[in-house]
Amino acid sequence: MSAGTSDRILAIKLADIGDVLLITPALRAIRQTFPAATLDVLVTPNGAAALGHSMLVDNLLVFDQHAFAGPRRALGIGQWWALAGLVRRLRAGHYDTVFLFHHLTLRSGALKHAALIMATGAQRRVGLDNGRGWFLNHRVPDLGFGVRHELDYWLELPGLLVNQDNPATAAEWPRQVEMVITSADRDKAAQWLPDMGDRRNQGDAPTVALHPGSGGYSLARRWDLERFAELGAQLACRARVVIVGTLSDGTEAIGARLGNAAVDLGGKTSLTELAAVLERCSLVVGADSGVLHVAAAVGTPVVALFGPTNHDAWVPALPPEKRTLVRSGSACSPCAYVGHDLGTPEGCPERTCLAMIDVGRVMEAVNRALHGSLAENLPVDPPRASQTARAVDILGIPVHAVTYDGLLDHIGEFIASGRPHQVATVNPEFVMAARRDPIFRVILRRSSLCLPDGIGLIWASRWLQRSGKGGHPLRQRVTGSDGVPRIACRAAKEGWRVFLLGAAPGVAERTAAILTSRFPGLQIAGIHSGSAAAAEEEEIVQRVNHEHTDILLVAYGAPRQDKWIARNLPRLQVGVAMGVGGTFDYISGETPRAPAWLCRFGLEWMYRLVHQPWRWRRMLALPRFACAVAWAGLRPHREGKPRS
């Protein structure tokens, strides 16, 4: 396919407003490279609104894929009749080339897109491939969400069909997202916001738009409405505040709180009218949503609040000097759209990642923006293990090849660094639980150390090495129950302060008494049973920090303890936070340990099962783990397929 050749091209993007705007640079690249081609775009109704009046597109094919959400609706005769009509339209289009602007994250989604593309009969089928793109014949490797910005992924696709006579590349094509605003839209915006036409010349009273919503797909992205209202009240003293969004975004509540101090346009604008309003603003403040991408399309600076979703993939496509990104830095955030996984778009029930973003921090970001000193406000990423700790990938979970001595050395390094580090003790049950729980999986992958607490991991590493799927075996089993006394011994010598958190009432106290008697000089910074509930998080964190803790040992049981640590890691002023499961029970004598000879043969699980028969359901993970590892070692590696 040569540049400029007359052709019929179809682009597919069945998504919401923000995602559709992010493909506009790629559509522009297609239009510029193949100016004689007819370019049609298959979109949802909301996507059609984002591309309305666009000169990049010849025809919009609108399909409401949400009509197929859920088995009842999908089985309706009307829906299948609509789908049959779409297939007929695709066949009638006689398309030569189809661009698929989607990740093939779910098998069901890949099959849906395969059916749509094959229905067109197009000879050239272009898209991202993560191992499920068998129906594509022009592929860009999908490296995973956030490895590249979504806009950059889509710009790569037109480049596949550019010949040597027209060697344009994604790096050379403009990254500006595009949205057409009519003169009628601007007239309407001028009525709502009179005398605010030039956002660069508004003196001491800039106009700031607040958008409290996040779109209907995921409510977990939303910042607390009360905090938005408080932010608006503080801004009203120095800026013109405009509330934008839909009524379902909670605009009424904020409007009622601010009264005449704000212009409430909630539910009053069309999408293009909203764009015209944002064009007249000095700044837009909101959580991850399509509205921020609309602001980017009209060039208005933004302050973007990100929680569960992936900022590396969806931060508004503006120059760095026009955007400020505010995040809490929780080790479990982002938990949605990470790697090749969908993850948890609805986040976790606690949503600490957004709760830790307070009004003061957002106001600070707004002040920097309004004074022309916009800059990325990314928190420091959770620290990783030093390069001396090699990791073995076992079913998608990194397990570090450390010994007990190596663990103590790492703890010393972590404490000396002055930054908090998370340490997890991993066994086969953890690995299987992480395969079902995306948040737990993300946490283990981001922990500074994942200790091999389980003989099954040693066996798995050796099997994967012999099968050519692993670089090196794990050297030693490192358990929490044997590791904590070693940590206490080193802490007594080094003067590290240890805080014991969790377990049943009285258990941590007995554990502390035993450890201090065995290791004179050990400083117990504090003892607290507490719980992993979100309501207690702030109080517990304050207590731990007040006691100048170096090492925090958390015994809430997996995965609650690991999730608690990950959520609160940014505000913990400790060197190490380590989940230790039932270690306090073993040290205190609450639960008997297996004889040493059983532990040497890796049969401790059998002893636990005899003494704790209620664990039989958890033990079912062991044969599943063995089967999964065996299959991972035997199956051939497919090119382009992400390993997990």
Handedness of CA 602, 604, 610, 614 (dihedral sign): negative
Instruction: State what percent of residues in the chain have pLDDT above 70.
Output: 85
- Dist. CA 245–CA 252, nearest whole Å: 10
- Dist. CA 561–CA 537, nearest whole Å: 12
Q: How confident is the model at residue 322 (pLDDT cuts 50, 70, 90)?
A: very high
Average pLDDT in the 370-383 region?
A: 60
Element (H, E) at 276: helix 271-279
| Residue-range domains of the chain with CATH | 8-159 (3.40.50.2000), 184-370 (3.40.50.2000), 391-588 (3.40.50.10660)
Whether 196 has a pLDDT exceeding 90, the answer reads no
Q: How confident is the model at residue 165 (pLDDT cuts 50, 70, 90)?
A: very low
pLDDT at 217: 72
What is the phi/psi pair of residue 582, to 5°? Answer: -90, 20
Question: Taking a C-beta distance cutoff of 8 angstroms, is the pair 528, 541 a contact?
Answer: no
Average pLDDT in the 362-375 region?
A: 81
Handedness of CA 604, 607, 612, 613 (dihedral sign): positive
pLDDT at 167: 46
Instruction: Please count the other Cβ atoms lying within 10 Å of the Cβ belonging to residue 476.
Output: 15
Average pLDDT in the 250-255 region?
A: 94
SS3 140: strand
Out of 178-182, 265-269, 373-377, which region has the weakest mean confidence (pLDDT)? 373-377
Answering whether pTM is above 0.95, one says no
pLDDT at 639: 45
Question: Taking a C-beta distance cutoff of 8 angstroms, is the pair 91, 81 a contact?
Answer: no
Whether 164 has a pLDDT exceeding 70, the answer reads no
Name the DSSP letter for residue 145: B
- Token representation of residue 479: 């358990």
Higher pLDDT, 33 or 612: 33
Integer distance in angstroms from the first to the last C-alpha of the chain?
36
Q: How confident is the model at residue 443 (pLDDT cuts 50, 70, 90)?
A: very high
SS3 207: strand
What is the phi/psi pair of residue 130, to 5°? Answer: -110, 20
Question: Taking a C-beta distance cutoff of 8 angstroms, is the pair 16, 46 a contact?
Answer: yes
Name the DSSP letter for residue 350: S
pLDDT digits over 392-415, tens only? 999 999 999 999 999 999 999 999
Nearest of 389, 338, 327, 337 to residue 361 by alpha carbon: 327
pLDDT at 232: 96
Amino acid at 437: D
Handedness of CA 209, 214, 215, 219 (dihedral sign): negative
Whether 601 has a pLDDT exceeding 60, the answer reads no
SS3 185: helix
- Dist. CA 382–CA 384, nearest whole Å: 7
Name all contacts of 112-121 with Cβ < 8 Å and 24+ positions apart: 113/12, 116/12, 116/42, 116/86, 116/90, 117/12, 119/87, 119/90, 119/91, 120/10, 120/90, 120/91, 120/93, 120/95, 121/91, 121/94, 121/95
pLDDT digits over 21-76, tens only? 999 999 999 998 899 999 999 999 999 999 988 999 999 999 887 655 544 544 44
pLDDT digits over 522-542, tens only? 999 999 998 889 999 999 999
Average pLDDT in the 429-437 region?
A: 94
Mean pLDDT is highest, among 106-120, 213-227, 542-556, 584-598, for 542-556
pLDDT at 422: 97
Out of 292-296, 563-567, 615-619, which region has the weakest mean confidence (pLDDT)? 615-619
Measure the CA angle with vertex 402, ends 400 and 405; round to 5°. 155
Query: What average pLDDT does the chain have?
Result: 88
Question: 148: which strand partners?
Answer: 145
- Dist. CA 101–CA 9, nearest whole Å: 13
- Token representation of residue 334: 């982002």
- Token representation of residue 2: 């040569």
Nearest of 63, 25, 58, 69 to residue 46 by alpha carbon: 63
Q: How confident is the model at residue 643 (pLDDT cuts 50, 70, 90)?
A: very low
Q: How confident is the model at residue 589 (pLDDT cuts 50, 70, 90)?
A: confident
Higher pLDDT, 223 or 602: 223
Q: How confident is the model at residue 454 (pLDDT cuts 50, 70, 90)?
A: confident
Question: 394: which strand partners?
Answer: 397
- Dist. CA 420–CA 206, nearest whole Å: 39
pLDDT at 195: 72
pLDDT at 632: 83
Out of 242-251, 284-293, 620-629, which region has the weakest mean confidence (pLDDT)? 620-629
| Alpha carbon distances (Å) from 231 to 227, 240, 241, 254, 271 | 6, 13, 10, 10, 24
Question: Taking a C-beta distance cutoff of 8 angstroms, is the pair 329, 572 a contact?
Answer: no
- Dist. CA 571–CA 540, nearest whole Å: 11
pLDDT at 599: 62
Out of 63-72, 182-191, 220-229, 439-448, which region has the weakest mean confidence (pLDDT)? 63-72
pLDDT at 100: 97
| Alpha carbon distances (Å) from 388 to 406, 449, 462 | 9, 11, 20
pLDDT digits over 461-511, tens only? 999 888 877 667 898 899 998 999 999 999 999 999 999 999 999 999 999
Average pLDDT in the 263-283 region?
A: 96
Average pLDDT in the 434-456 region?
A: 93
- Dist. CA 45–CA 68, nearest whole Å: 14
